[in-house]
Amino acid sequence: MSYVVPQSDVKEVDFLRENRSKTSITWIGHSTFLIQFKGLNIVTDPVWAKRMGFSKRLSGPGLTMNELPPIDIVLISHGHYDHLHIPSLRALPGDPLLLVPEGLASMLGKKGFKKVKEVPWWSSVEENGVTFDMVPAQHWTRRTPWDTNTSHWGGWTIREGGASEGAIYFAGDSGYFHGFKKIGEAYSIDTALIPIGAYDPEWFMKVSHMTPEEAVQTYLDLGAKKFIPMHYGAFRLADDTAEEALMRLKNEWERREISGQELVIMDLGQTIKD
């Protein structure tokens, strides 16, 4: 593989450590983001693993653990190893609350995590004036041969208090399904973090992973204002490549004649601010 997702030339570590007022999104890699929202430091699906199974990581994390600010909230989409990495959870700075789908708290409790809240689909938790909503996805989960689908999976919206406007949507991992329209109807989403990788062979992956073209349709279904692609370039989970995924995404974007300003393809470690 010749193409590697680039690292940002500018990493705003000092800003991220001090910021408690501005909204910012920093891509760490794969499905891991640092999101700063209304004074909270939030990490999604934290995975700093150097390997996944027998394969080495294809691109290094955009920030090291030492460059992170203290983390307040962790959002977990589901239990697959490329989204729930126990050593990474343990290494996070701060004393974060873990928000997880139904069925995961027991396993995390056995691993020694005390601050864990399960959130059912279409339910919410409010922390420090920020509301976190667990919304459905089309996926599955398993960590051992004996726990297939014993916990749920899903995405998260992040919004201020009871407001429906200005939400950030983290899709987690999903195939394309009609539920994205329902999510778009329920929330006014500003920024959508949507997976575009691990789709090939499509006949096999279609149920649980969307193609780049389906990711564009997901964005349109959500009615969001900005699309940040994720879930590509860090681990070899299928036969597609990061270069192919991005090319297909850009081609579909142009075919649909969507404004180029709405698509934000991030470098690793890059921070965008509102």
Residue 201 sits in a domain of what CATH number? 3.60.15.10
pLDDT in tens, the chain (274 residues): 579 999 999 999 999 999 999 999 999 999 999 999 999 999 999 999 999 988 899 999 999 999 999 999 999 999 999 999 999 999 999 999 999 999 999 999 999 999 999 999 999 999 999 999 999 999 999 898 888 888 999 999 999 987 777 899 999 999 999 999 999 999 999 999 999 999 999 999 999 999 999 999 999 999 999 999 999 999 999 999 999 999 999 999 999 999 989 999 999 999 999 8
For residue 64, count other CB atoms closer than 10 A to its CB: 13
pLDDT for the residue 266: 98
Residue 152 is assigned to a structural domain of this protein: yes
Helix (H) or strand (E) holding 40: strand 40-44
In which element (H, E) is residue 204 found?
A: helix 202-205
Residue 1's pLDDT is 52
Containing domain of residue 254, as a range? 13-273
Domain count for the chain, please give it: 1
Helix axes 179-186, 212-222, angle to 10 degrees: 30
* CA pair distance 253, 247, nearest whole angstrom: 10
Q: Is residue 7 assigned to a domain?
A: no
Residue 168 is assigned to a structural domain of this protein: yes
Question: Does 212 map to a domain?
Answer: yes
6 in a structural domain: no
The answer to whether residue 2 is domain-embedded is no
Query: Does residue 26 lie within any of the structural domains?
Result: yes
Sign of the CA dihedral running 181, 183, 186, 191: negative
pTM: 0.96
Residue 38 tokens, joined: 């209304």
**Nearest Cα to 227, choosing from 42, 46, 25, 92?**
25
